[in-house]
Structure 1
Amino acid sequence: MIGEMLENVFIRCYVIIKLNLYFILLTVMGLIVVGIGPAFLTINQLFTEHEWDYKKITWKNAWLTYKQNWKRGNALFGIYAGLSLFIGYNLYLSVQVQGILFLVIDFLLVFVLFCLFVTYSYSLVLHSRFDMGLANLIKLAFITFYSNFFMLVKLIFGIGIVLFITYKFPGLIMFATMALIQIICIFTAKQWVSIIEDKLAADGE
């Protein structure tokens, strides 16, 4: 029993490291700017399809998935990154000004940045599960953000732990951080994804 448990732990660690290294390699191969979006989509889709089956998570599958997701990955990342930069710049300007009104604006802009980060994460998960247009994907991601408060809390808590541990052990950026964040997003959204699938199945009958 202990041997089986240790084997499962080893397999999970191996999958996390493998996905994280694939993410870094694919990001670098895309010259970072146009590689990071497709790389995020790739590791998300690989884990969604195969979870802990490390034998099916291969470089060949990763590369094929990366090429298939290149256009959609860059479109998603470009939209969210552009909006985040715009909001971030306005937040930078806002914090320079004192006053209760601008303090409220600061908190509002921080919330919008947080909303963009979470909806981007949900967009990656939904893309890996459903075939839909870019506009509908983004709309569904925003709906997901407001769909379940406890799902959102679990996501924040999980990512917060990963970021805290990474802060203490920066080497995890190379071997685990990005993959762990994607895995947390996938697992926290599982129940919501099942609800959508049941709804689609009911509408299709």
Structure 2
Amino acid sequence: MERLLENIFLRVFFIMRLSMIYIVMLVAGFFIFGFTPANATVLYMYRQYRMDVSKYHFADAWKYYKTIFWSTNALGGVLGLSISIMAYGLYLLVQLPNQSIFTLLFSIINAFIIFYILCVYVVYLKLHVYYEFRLFIGLKLSAIAVFFSIKSLAKLAIGTAICTFILSKVTLIVAVFIPIIWLMFVFDVLDPIYERVAQYYQD
């Protein structure tokens, strides 16, 4: 029982510490410009140190954050713009007065494209932890790698939906910890995709 309580305490402390680092990076980038660099930094640190909370220091996070700030914002800008266009198209389709089977079909296609772009985003961040590549090379690799594990994508969709639901139900004090939990989940659930990419590079 004592061991269990110790593990719970360490995990809670780990999430709290990483969340504080994450929030500072978000604020440093005025949230919009800090979002993708902060996500990439957390994934990088999680890959390096896993659950060893003693090794998570803001100075290390900040150093990495600065080196990837512009490149990851370019990623966020390209995919964010793409999602915005598709989301607006979906909004217009839903607002049409005379709905038909074709309208429904195009709406579903739009929704799937938005989900696909989001998957490319998280796969890019996952691979970015292991490889250095230019933006469009990374995007092409991620766009293909998404299909390497449909099971992982299904888990990603379910996990993201659960985190979003929890985020909408909890207070702000609790909500600040959800992004870190989601990022750790993303890192682990996308391992099969990384392994396929790593195998391809080895071959």
TM-score relative to the length of structure 2: 0.91
What CA deviation, in whole Å up to 9, does each residue of 1:25-78 have, x standing for no partner? Answer: 111111222221211111111111111111111111111111011011101111
Give distance in 1, aligned partners of 2:59 and 2:181. Answer: 21
Give distance in 2, aligned partners of 1:24 and 1:30. Answer: 10
Query: AA paired with 1:139?
Result: K
What CA deviation, in whole Å up to 9, does each residue of 1:139-193 have, x standing for no partner? Answer: 222222211121111112222222222222133322x111111111110111221
Give distance in 1, aligned partners of 2:19 and 2:117. Answer: 23
Q: How does 1:42-121 map to 2 (within 5 A)?
A: 42-97=41-96, 98-121=99-122
Runs of 4+ in 1 over 3 A off after TM superposition: none
Q: Judging changes above 3 Å, is the alpha-carbon distance between structure 1 residues 144 and 9 closer, same or farther for their aligned structure 2 residues? A: farther
The Cα of 1:128 is off from its aligned counterpart by 0.7
| Residue matched to 1:12 | 11
| Residue matched to 2:153 | 152
SS in 2 for 1:112: helix
Query: AA paired with 1:95?
Result: V
Q: How does 1:129-148 map to 2 (within 5 A)?
A: 129-148=130-149
Q: Judging changes above 3 Å, is the alpha-carbon distance between structure 1 residues 12 and 143 closer, same or farther for their aligned structure 2 residues? A: farther
| Residue matched to 2:128 | 127
Residues 123 and 145, structure 2, Cα contact 8 Å, conserved in 1: yes
Give distance in 2, aligned partners of 1:114 and 1:173. Answer: 23
User: CA RMSD of the aligned region, Å?
Assistant: 1.6
Q: Which moved more, 1:63-72 or 1:154-163?
A: 154-163
Query: For structure 2, which runs of at least 5 residues remain unmatched after alignment?
Result: none
The Cα of 1:108 is off from its aligned counterpart by 0.8
Residues 36 and 72, structure 2, Cα contact 8 Å, conserved in 1: yes
| Residue matched to 2:169 | 168
Give distance in 1, aligned partners of 2:7 and 2:129. Answer: 25
The Cα of 1:8 is off from its aligned counterpart by 2.4
Give distance in 2, aligned partners of 1:6 and 1:122. Answer: 34
What CA deviation, in whole Å up to 9, does each residue of 1:66-117 have, x standing for no partner? Answer: 1011011101111111101111111111112222211111111111111111
TM-score relative to the length of structure 1: 0.90
Identity percentage over the alignment?
A: 26
Aligned residues: 200
Q: Which moved more, 1:88-97 or 1:160-169?
A: 160-169
Q: Which moved more, 1:2-11 or 1:127-136?
A: 2-11
| Residue matched to 1:186 | 187
Residues 146 and 193, structure 2, Cα contact 8 Å, conserved in 1: no
Query: For structure 1, which runs of at least 5 residues remain unmatched after alignment?
Result: none
The Cα of 1:7 is off from its aligned counterpart by 2.3
Query: AA paired with 2:57?
Result: T
Give distance in 1, aligned partners of 2:104 and 2:127. Answer: 34
Q: Which moved more, 1:11-20 or 1:97-106?
A: 11-20
Query: AA paired with 1:103?
Result: L
